[in-house]
Amino acid sequence: MSWQPQRRRAGVAQGESAVTFSAAKDATQSTVEDPVIEKETRSQEDVDLPWQVVVHNDPVNLMTYVTMVFQRVFGYPREKAEKHMLEVHHQGRSILWSGMRERAELYVQQLHGYLLLATLEKVG
């Protein structure tokens, strides 16, 4: 597949909230400086949350194929992938993932690469 979801590195990413404390550099000082609290900001991604990846039923796609795709794209264990596949089969749709828009878009692209009927929906 051409599209692989980009794993975000662990830790605080640009634009995410962060609260840090800086201690006094000069240990000889008898007093400790007041902690500096950085301004807490709300990232655009937080504002955008949540988006969901929805897969819709298609009677042509094989159940085993759909299960394999869910395992590959989302890294779900077989049981979880089968649960979602059966939800698609019986209820017509299943929400496979929800979270940040950028990643949800990548998942939808991957699912279309496997020829599944997938859409991106904003919750609410």
Partner 1 sequence: MEICRREDKLEISELDPFLAELLRQIPASTNPEGTPAAEKRLFSPPADRSKTEQCSEWKLYVEPELRRLFRTATETVAADLEQLNGNEKPFANRTLRIPTQHADAWLNALNQARLVIAAKYNFTDGELCDHYRSPIGSRRDLSLFQLNFYGFLQEFILREIGGCPEKTSD
Extract the runs of DSSP E, i.e. beta strands, from 9-116.
51-56, 93-99
For partner 1, give the closer residue by CB, 19 or 115.
Answer: 115
Q: Is 105 in the site for partner 1 (CB under 8 A)?
A: yes
- Structure tokens, 65: 């194929």
Bridge partner residues of 56 (DSSP): 93, 117
Whichever of 24 and 115 has its CB closer to partner 1, that residue is: 115
Q: Which is nearer to partner 1, 87 or 99 (CB)?
A: 99
Q: Residue 86 corresponds to which tokens in the numbers above? A: 């059966």
Q: How far is the CB of 82 from partner 1 (least distance, A)?
A: 12
Count of positions on this chain that bind partner 1 (CB under 8 A):
33
Least separation in angstroms between residue 88's CB and partner 1 is 14
As a whole number of angstroms, the distance between CA 42 and CA 16 comes to 7
Q: Other C-beta atoms within 10 Å of 96: how many? A: 25
Map the footprint of partner 1 across residues 19-78, applying CB under 8 A.
58-62, 64-65, 68, 71-72, 74-78
Q: Where are the beta strands (DSSP E) in the chain?
A: 51-56, 93-99, 117-122
Q: What does the binding site for partner 1 look like in residue numbers (CB under 8 A)?
A: 1-3, 58-62, 64-65, 68, 71-72, 74-78, 80, 97, 99, 105, 108-109, 112-115, 117-121
